[in-house]
Structure 1
Amino acid sequence: MDNFAALMDKNIISEIKSENVAAFNGAYACYHRQIYGFVLKKTQSDYIATEVVQLCFIRLWEKRSTLNETLDLDIQLFGMARQVMIDELRRESIRLKYNNKSAQYPFTDNLMKMIESKDLLKRFEQEIETMPPMRKMVFNLSRDNGMSYAEIAEMLGISTRTVESHIGKVLSRLKHYMFTVLL
């Protein structure tokens, strides 16, 4: 993100925090498609993607006073979207379990396994939190925000090889963690 865009991002955060509805609508117009695409890619469900976008922006408005003006709005939005998506997937999982009608819903077996292994995901998140800040940031931009290696490299002013190295080290550490601690 260039300096002007970063400045605009900071200004829109302060405007949203001061209850400026036009700024909020501008943020929605700017980011709703990206968030929808991110969630759709993860869930393969148009319904879930639509719900998550709506709930994410509701949460943005409800939590506007706690927005961090030093952190880009897109990073905060994608973090919210990720959490809302996890919450929605858990709700759907519970609903499916009690309705016993899983064939009617467009979830894949892998997605259901991901929900059921939420403890493993939490452990991975805890392991990622212990990593060096740059490595953790690179990994989160890639996985949580769906950014390409080139986008991350440009954003952080590092080479794509460095991005690849960071992500490779995170994945290697997670694999090692999985085999030594969990098995």
Structure 2
Amino acid sequence: MEQIKAIKEGNQQVFKQVFDQYHQQIFGFIVQRTKSEYIAQEVTQLTFIKFWKQREILSERLQIQIQLFGIARQVMIDILRKEATRFKYEGDMAETPFTDSLIDAIESKDLLQLMERDIEKMPKMRRMVFELSRKQGLSHKEIAQIFSITPKAVEQHIGKALLQLKQHLYSIML
């Protein structure tokens, strides 16, 4: 949380350390989802620009990586929307590899917002484990090392989180 405080105060050296530490992880996270290195480069760059511009409103209660990956996810969605619109107007809709997934993402935006609210309501440890697993793509072993718990405990947290989300989604669909 010291890093966040320093960045909020405008410390560029700490920002550079954070950039060096998370640049490759964010790039990999975006490539994995979009299958496009070009988009991953754009999203990664815009993520850090947005992170710096919004530094004054960063939360000192949330881990820096959670905030960075949240920004990256939002920037990715924004860029995919712009690309889909561009292809639509150029008549190349069939040639873009991510159009179908983009449309699905847009159609399910309300559902994602509901899920985000549900995730925020989870107990702190369950929420952090779930976000590291599902949003950042960390393995159970990596998460276990971060929190000094067993991989089995990570699995249990994720299982409970998924059950909680499924139950709420099921109740909404009825």
> When the two structures are superposed, what TM-score results if normalisation uses the length of structure 1?
0.80
Deviation at 1:113, TM superposition (A): 1.5
Shift of residue 93, structure 1, vs aligned partner = 3.8
The code of the aligned residue for 2:131 comes to N
CA separation in 1, counterparts of 2:169 and 2:90? Answer: 33
Question: How large is the Cα RMSD of the aligned pairs?
Answer: 2.4
1:57 to 41, 48, 58: 48
Find runs of 4+ consecutive structure 1 residues off by over 6 angstroms.
Answer: none
Q: 1:133 to 1:14 in 2, by over 3 A?
A: closer
Letter in 2 for 1:86: I
Which of 146, 150, 154 aligns to 1:155? It is: 146
Does residue 113 of the first structure (1) align with residue 68 of the second (2)? no
Q: Is the 8 A contact 1:36 1:49 kept in 2?
A: yes
Partner of 2:123: 132
Q: How high is the sequence identity, in percent, across the aligned residues? A: 50
Residues 39-118 of structure 1 mapped to structure 2, 5 A cutoff: 39-107=30-98, 109-118=100-109
Is residue 43–residue 111 contact of structure 1 (8 Å, CA) maintained in 2?
no
Give yes or no for the alignment of 1:122 onto 2:97.
Answer: no
Q: How many residue pairs align between the two structures?
A: 174
Structure 1: runs of 5 or more not aligned: 1-8
CA contact (8 A) 2:66 2:131 kept: no
Aligned residue for 1:19, secondary structure, equals coil
Aligned to 1:30: 21
- Does the 8 A contact of 1:43 with 1:107 survive in 2? yes
C-alpha deviation, 1:59, in angstroms: 0.9
Name the aligned partner's letter for residue 163 of structure 1: V
- Counterparts of 2:105 and 2:124 in 1: how far apart (Å)? 26
Alignment CA distance shift 1:100-1:116 (3 Å) = farther
Q: Is the 8 A contact 2:30 2:76 kept in 1?
A: yes
Aligned mates of 1:122, 1:41 — CA distance in 2:
22
Provide, for residues 83-131 of structure 1, a one-character-per-residue CA deviation record: whole Å limited to 9, x for no partner.
2222223333444444442223221634431232111111111222222
Q: CA deviation at 1:69?
A: 4.2
| Cα distance in 2 between the residues matched to 1:130 and 1:67 | 20
Deviation by residue 1:41-99 (Cα, 9 ceiling, x = unmatched): 12222222111111111112212223344544323222221222222233334444444
The 2-side partners of 1:167 and 1:70 are apart by 21
Partner of 2:162: 171
Counterparts of 1:154 and 1:140, CA distance in 2: 15
